[in-house]
Amino acid sequence: MGTKGFLGIVTIGICVIVALILSMVCFHTNNISQLQVIQSFTGSTSIKTQGGIYFKILPRIWTYNKTNQVAFSFEKDESKDNDGVHVFFANKGQGDVSTQITYNLLSEEEKVYKMHELAKGDDDVIDRRILATIREITMREAGQITSSEAIEKREEFANAIRQQLLHNPDYLAIGVDITQFTITNISFDDLTIAAYKKAQEADLQKKTAEAEKLNLIMQKEKVEAEAAKQIAESKGKAEVEKMKATTDAEREKELAEIKAKQEVAVAELAKQKAIVEANKKFEVAEIQKKEEQAKLEVIRIQAEQKVAEAEAKKQQIALAGDITEKDRFELEIGMKTRVEVARAIAQGISGVKLPTTLFIGTNGGNNSATSLDYLINLLTVQKANEVGRESALPVLRDCRGSTASGFSSESHSTMVP
C-alpha cells in the first residue's frame, strides 16, 4: 500500500470519528417519563417534554423525572439521609415520624422554568424543600395530640398532615404537585413507650371499671324492667278483667235494651193489628148497615107498591059493590088487629136482624082466599110498613107465588133477607 492509500484510510477514519463526535454532540434523546430544559450554545432555552431524538448543536441539558417518590425516614433501607421528623407530643412524649411522598412536575413552560430556577437540575433541592414543609406541618400537628392518640389514631394524624400538604398552592406555583403522603412509621423513645404502657394499663383498668359499672347498670335496668313488666302485667290483667266486666255489663244492657225494644215493637204491632181489626170490623159493620138500609129501602118501595095496588083494588071493589058495611067493619077490625100484632112483634124483636120479605099464604096449594082476605092482607102490609119506618124495622113486601093469594088463621108470614 502506498502513501496515498494510507492517507485515504486515515482521512476516512478521521471523518468517521468526527461524525461520531458530531452525532454525540448534536443528536440527543429524551425519555417520555422525563422533561428536559435545553440551553443552546447561543444562550436560548427550550423545554422538551415529549420522548424521542432531537438535534441540537452543543446544548446544555438539565433532565428531571416527571414523577418522583421520596422517603423521609430514620430507616436506612428507606432513606440514606436519616431524614425522618422528630416530634414532641402534647403529653411530652417523643417520637420519630417516617414519611413518604409522591410529587409530579408540571409541564407548563412557565412553571417548568420556575422549578428549574429553584432546582438548577438537582432533584434533591426540591426534595429538601418538601421535607422542610413536612417537618413544619408534622411537628405542629404532633403538638396537638398525645403519643397515645398518635398510636391509636395514626391515620387521623396522617390525614391532618395530608390535608395541608397535598396540592399545596405554594408548590403548584413552581410546577410541583404533591399527590400522595403516607406515615410509614412512628418510633417512640423508651419513656414514651413506658408511659404509653402505663396509660394503657390505667385505661384498661378504667375501661374494666366502666364495663363493670355498665354491667351493674344493665343488671339494674334488667331488674327494673322485670319489675315494671310484672307491674304492667298485673295492671294489664286488672284492666282486662275490668274491661271484660264492663263489656259484659254493656252487653247485658244492650241485650236488655234490644229485648225491651222488641217487646215495645211487638206491643205496637199488636196495637196496630187490633186497630186494623177494629177498623175492619167497623168497616164491615158500616157495610152491613148500608146493606140493611138498602134492603129496607127496597122493602119500603115494594110495600108502597103493594099499598098502591091494594088501594087500586079497594077502589075496584068499591066500584063493583062487592063489599058491604059489615065486610068493611070486619076488614078494619082484622087489619087493626094484625097491625097491632105486627107492632108487638116489632117491639119484641127490635135490634134483631129481620127478613126483608113477608110471605103470606095458605097451607095448601089451592087459591081459596076471598077478595076480602086479599084486601086485609094488603092493608096489613101497609100498616106494617108504617110501623117499620117508625121503629127502624125492615119494611115488608108481599111475595105471592102461585098459592099466595090470601091470609087465614092458618096462614104464616116469613121475613126474608
User: Model's pTM, two decimal places?
Assistant: 0.46
Q: Is the pLDDT of residue 326 over 80?
A: no
Q: What is the DSSP letter of 68?
A: E
Range of the domain at 157: 66-188
Question: Which pLDDT band holds residue 393 (cuts at 50, 70, 90)?
Answer: very low
Question: Which pLDDT band holds residue 371 (cuts at 50, 70, 90)?
Answer: low
pLDDT of residue 85: 95
Q: Determine, yes or no, domain membership for 221.
A: no
402 shares a domain with 376 = yes
Task: Round to whole Å and give the CA distance between 55 and 144.
Answer: 56
Between 272 and 391, the more confident residue is 272
Q: Determine, yes or no, domain membership for 257.
A: no
How distant is the alpha carbon of residue 51 from its chain centre? 71
Task: Round to whole Å and give the CA distance between 382 and 31.
Answer: 165
Question: Which pLDDT band holds residue 409 (cuts at 50, 70, 90)?
Answer: very low
pLDDT of residue 322: 53
Q: Determine, yes or no, domain membership for 319.
A: yes
21 shares a domain with 77 = no
156 shares a domain with 51 = no
Between 132 and 211, the more confident residue is 132
Count structural domains, the chain: 3
Task: Round to whole Å and give the CA distance between 223 and 214.
Answer: 14
Picking from 131, 156, 188, the residue at the C-terminal end of a domain is 188
Collapsed DSSP state (helix, strand, coil) of residue 341: helix
CATH code, 77:
3.30.479.30
95 shares a domain with 49 = no
385 shares a domain with 326 = yes
Q: Determine, yes or no, domain membership for 230.
A: no
Q: Determine, yes or no, domain membership for 164.
A: yes
Per-residue pLDDT, averaged over 388-402, amounts to 47
Task: Round to whole Å and give the CA distance between 123 and 13.
Answer: 41
pLDDT of residue 407: 38
> Over the stretch 50-62, which tens digit does the pLDDT of each residue have?
888 887 877 889 9
Task: Round to whole Å and give the CA distance between 134 and 99.
Answer: 9
Q: Which amino acid is at 121?
A: G
Residue 63 in grid coordinates: 433532565
410 shares a domain with 292 = yes
pLDDT of residue 198: 78
41 shares a domain with 124 = no
76 shares a domain with 173 = yes
Q: Taking the CB of residue 356, how many other CB atoms lie within 10 A of it?
A: 21
Q: Determine, yes or no, domain membership for 378.
A: yes
138 shares a domain with 84 = yes
122 shares a domain with 87 = yes
pLDDT of residue 58: 78
296 shares a domain with 403 = yes
Q: Is the pLDDT of residue 20 over 90?
A: no
Q: Determine, yes or no, domain membership for 306.
A: yes
pLDDT of residue 98: 94
Q: Determine, yes or no, domain membership for 349.
A: yes
Picking from 131, 154, 188, the residue at the C-terminal end of a domain is 188
Picking from 188, 222, 246, the residue at the C-terminal end of a domain is 188
80 shares a domain with 7 = no
